[in-house]
Amino acid sequence: MLKPSRLSRGLRFASQTPPRDTRYARINDADLKNFEKILGKSYVKTEEIDSFNKDWTKWYSGNGACVLLPSTSEEISAILRHCHERRIAVVPQAGNTGLVGGGIPVHDEVILSVRRMNREFDFDPDTGVLSCDVGHVLEELEGKVGEFGYMMPFDLGAKGSCLIGGNLSTCAGGIRLLRYGSLHSHLLGLRVVLPDAKGSLVEFGSELRKDNTSLHAHHLFLGSEGQLGVITGVKMTCVTKPISVQSAMLGVNTFDECRKILRIAKTKLGEILSSFELMDRETIGVLEDNLQFSNVIKTNPRFNILVETSGTNIDHDREKVDNFLEYCLSERLANDGVQAKSAEEHRLMWRLRESATIALTLDGIVFKNDFSLPLHSFYQLTEEVRARVGGAAKRVVCYGHMGDGNSHLNVTSTKENADRVYKMLYPFVYEWVVKHGGSISAEHGIGQLKRPYVNLGKSTEERNLIRSLKTLFDPREILNPYKFL
């Protein structure tokens, strides 16, 4: 029987938590001594580990009694070899910045943190290929490759604390995907430790951009949420840092006009278009109310569109953006528009978009959603949810990466109304998304939050094949149980 999930705020929603699987062994003193022999006593933690047992949103909490902090792939191999033999459940954890509880124990699983896996760093400025351990912070990697005139091909709000290993395990998206594609476009190879009897250490792929000598099995681990193996190293391509970055914000009255502006942006900005972000009026409202921010656009539009370009010629790019804005205004697709003329104006525009998540947390309880939707349905869901929840919710807010169809629909509520709002939202929104050709997880993953709905829109044949892969890589099913698979 499924039980309500444990939420640290005392809320008990209908998102079910499976009971503890009795096949898994409980940690004993002999296990701890073995881990200490592998890592040294300082890196086997049994006290002051609350920060590892709770996610940063404070929604999910586990009872992991032990945190392991290896620094090498060989140490992880020895750990997984022991856990395979004893059938001890293990949760791989990176920066713990996820939004679906994927890196948090459900019960008493061992927490395997990769925070100390940050020794290896190698970058080839001729090819743009980065080889590194998975414990590097994304922002630090951005700085390191930046010294060579490159940047990471994706950018996230949590870049100051998220680790590249977690980014890989969740196939993180972010604001640069429209220009540079997903992580699948940049992944060349992975070093992975498998949870089998040997703790097998496997190198998948290579540093070559073209290598068709084997199946590209490393891509199976991208977005697998720690289900198949523990990623310890990555080989991937970075992108050259743009010389010219231009930003503009437009005020738009209807979502249909937003869609038309996106088509025009792809035509008139072409190869330099790097971001196309949407914020509805409710997003601006929560920024104004909770953070006292002011909108760059003063006409109180129904939608704010934030456009960014990345190129190599400042005058050329600025002229293209200016012509794009002029066209949108002259055709009355936008009622207002402004181009950033300085780094400070650029920063102010992006501060609005990047601060939306923080502003929402100050509203009370936040039900965060992360959907991919066809553009014709992108904002329709927000309107239907707004009508459905009515006065039960405080706000229904939509912002996101409109350029690649990724909607972040957020519903806020008081603690007293939270259970009522939850029941109005789920499973309604998940079923609606699948019915309209979308995905219930664009970039946040499945984790604990969406586990009850993971089969929506997926065929039995597909799910059976995926379960077979799980058994192949993880024969005793010790990695990150109770979640994705």
Within this chain, do residues 39 and 132 fall inside the same structural domain, yes or no? Answer: no
Structure tokens at 322: 């200016």
Domain membership of residue 466 (yes or no) is: no
- What does each of the 485 residues of the chain score in pLDDT, given as a tens digit? 233 333 433 344 545 678 999 999 999 999 999 999 999 999 999 999 999 999 887 788 899 999 999 999 999 999 999 999 999 999 999 999 998 999 999 999 999 999 999 999 999 999 999 999 999 999 999 999 999 999 999 998 889 999 999 999 999 998 899 999 999 999 999 999 999 999 999 999 999 999 999 999 999 999 999 999 999 999 999 999 999 999 999 999 999 999 999 999 999 999 999 999 999 999 999 999 999 999 999 999 999 999 999 999 999 999 999 999 999 999 999 999 999 999 999 999 999 999 999 999 999 999 999 999 999 999 999 999 999 999 999 999 999 999 999 999 999 999 999 999 999 999 999 999 999 999 999 999 999 999 999 999 999 999 999 999 999 999 999 999 999 87
Domain membership of residue 105 (yes or no) is: yes
3-state class percentages of the chain: helix first, strand second, coil last, to nearest 5: 35, 20, 40
Within this chain, do residues 91 and 131 fall inside the same structural domain, yes or no? Answer: no
Within this chain, do residues 126 and 221 fall inside the same structural domain, yes or no? Answer: yes
Within this chain, do residues 137 and 226 fall inside the same structural domain, yes or no? Answer: yes
Within this chain, do residues 379 and 425 fall inside the same structural domain, yes or no? Answer: yes
Domain membership of residue 307 (yes or no) is: yes
Domain membership of residue 460 (yes or no) is: no
**How many degrees, rounded to 5, is the angle at CA 196 between CA 193 and CA 197?**
120
Within this chain, do residues 40 and 149 fall inside the same structural domain, yes or no? Answer: no
Domain membership of residue 461 (yes or no) is: no
Q: How many CA atoms lie within 13 A of 247 on its CB side?
A: 20
CATH number at residue 383: 3.30.70.2740
Domain membership of residue 236 (yes or no) is: yes
For residue 257, the enclosing domain spans: 244-356
Within this chain, do residues 321 and 414 fall inside the same structural domain, yes or no? Answer: no
Domain boundary residue, one of 175, 209, 240: 240
Within this chain, do residues 130 and 213 fall inside the same structural domain, yes or no? Answer: yes
CA 79, chain centre distance (Å): 27
Within this chain, do residues 149 and 225 fall inside the same structural domain, yes or no? Answer: yes
CATH number at residue 288: 3.30.70.2190
Coil, strand or helix: which one is 419? helix
Within this chain, do residues 448 and 393 fall inside the same structural domain, yes or no? Answer: yes
Domain membership of residue 469 (yes or no) is: no
Please choose, from the candidates 332, 322, 191, 146, the residue with its C-alpha nearest in 3D space to the C-alpha of residue 254. 332
Domain boundary residue, one of 206, 240, 274: 240
Q: Are 224 and 482 in contact (CB under 8 A)?
A: no
Within this chain, do residues 203 and 254 fall inside the same structural domain, yes or no? Answer: no
Domain boundary residue, one of 334, 356, 378: 356
Domain membership of residue 125 (yes or no) is: yes
pTM: 0.92
Within this chain, do residues 93 and 167 fall inside the same structural domain, yes or no? Answer: no
Give the number of domains in the chain.
4
